[in-house]
Chains A and B, each alone.
Chain A
Amino acid sequence: MAYTYGTDEWEQAYRELVERRLAETEKPYILGTPEWVDTYEKLVQEDAPYKEAAKSWEGSVVIHILARPEYGLERDIYMFMDLWHGDCRFIRLVPPEAGEKGDFILTGELERWEAVMSGELDVVKAMMQGKIKLKGHLPTIVRAVKAATRLVELAGQIGTRYISQLSEAEIESLKNLLATSGAQFGI
């Protein structure tokens, strides 16, 4: 069954998907999967340094990972973070049309994001090199650079299976997940 993003049905079904996958999937989770995003959400919600750095922050931030079909990532991933004055209301995968409505959208290729999240590539450096592109009011995000950097550091604290390092079987599994979640949730 296909759910419409923004409805209670979508919310409930997405929550059930997350709970099911948390119960069924072994750690470390694959980057960008619902269980990975849920783990990330909890980390951000509980992080005191983030809360302090982001206490004046208003607006949503979207991590946009570009598709990489050869690694099984057949569609772009939009990770939507609803952030408000140090609180993280939610982080979830959303359909592209919802992701594109984020206040700040950070777009990059899969390998760039993997390098950023594993700590190999500093996110500010990546932006200055054009490896990660920002859509949104730049001075606002520059003012909150500490909060933005902390968000990235937290992503690096999750034990992560990087998509570019998956086995053939894992790639197939990821493709199946994307096909199912795409059909049901548009994500």
Chain B
Amino acid sequence: MPDKISFAEGAEETALAAMLAEIIESNLENGGSRVKAFRNLRSAVHINAADAGVEITLEFKKGHLTVHAGKPLPPAISIEAESATLLELTNLKIKGGLPFFFDETGRGVVKKLLRGELKIKGLLRHPLELVRLTKVLSVA
């Protein structure tokens, strides 16, 4: 089955939804481990850009992503941060198949996690899904 990204009704008008879908689409076109991660993802991920008042849900189902506006289904993972921090997450490097936290961007993300400026629910219950998500979102 070809990898596919689609928008639920009304989601395409949400800029954050369109941006993340474009990033993921571009990563899939580039191939490699990101495609494998995309095909293995099978969770709903809620992303809330709190300062922008924009929230979306990415519903992954083994090679198919549906992007929703808002939070229409219960997510396994929930990420809340300011807009700029969400973009920092997409700049995390992947090394050895894992997110790399030892450069400036990685350290910045860890600091924000510790300070509560980046909130991730499901971090401990779904660590593998979170790694896969980081891979499909990473532009670094």
Residues of A participating in the B interface, judged by any CB pair closer than 8 Å:
122, 124-125, 127-130, 133, 137-140, 142-143, 145, 149
Contact = CB atoms under 8 A, between A and B. Distances in A.
Q: Which 7 A-B pairs have the closest CB atoms?
A: A130-B15, A139-B139, A125-B83, A128-B16, A124-B83, A128-B52, A125-B52
A127 B15 contact: yes
Given A127-B15, A128-B15, A129-B53, A139 B83 contact: no
22 contacts: A122-B84, A124-B83, A124-B87, A125-B83, A127-B15, A127-B19, A128-B52, A128-B54, A128-B86, A130-B14, A133-B15, A137-B26, A138-B22, A139-B22, A139-B27, A142-B87, A142-B90, A142-B91, A143-B91, A145-B87, A145-B88, A145-B91
Contacts of A129: 15-16, 52-54
If over half of A's interface residues share one DSSP class (helix, strand or loop), that class is named, otherwise mixed; here it is helix
Nearest to B23: A139
Q: Identify which of A124, A127, A149 gathers the most chain B CB atoms within 10 Å of its CB.
A: A124
Contact of B139 (A125, A127, A142): A142
A122 B49 CA distance: 12
Contacts of A128: 15-16, 19, 49, 52, 54, 83, 86
Interface in B32-74: 49, 51-54
A143 B52 contact: no
A149 B84 CA distance: 10
A122 B51 contact: yes
A130 B13 CA distance: 8
Contacts of A138: 19, 22-23, 26
B19 A125 contact: no
A129 B55 CA distance: 10
Contacts of B22: 138-139
B84 A145 contact: yes
A124 B20 CA distance: 13
Q: Identify which of B53, B86, B139 gathers the most chain A CB atoms within 10 Å of its CB.
A: B139
B114 interface: no
B72 to A, nearest CB: 19
A99 B22 CA distance: 23
Given A130-B15, A143-B91, A143-B140, A125 B27 contact: no
Nearest to A137: B26
A125 B49 contact: yes
Contacts of A122: 51, 82-84
Contacts of B90: 142
B31 to A, nearest CB: 14
Nearest to B53: A129
Q: Identify which of A122, A133, A138, A149 gathers the most chain B CB atoms within 10 Å of its CB.
A: A138
Given A128-B16, A128-B19, A143 B51 contact: no
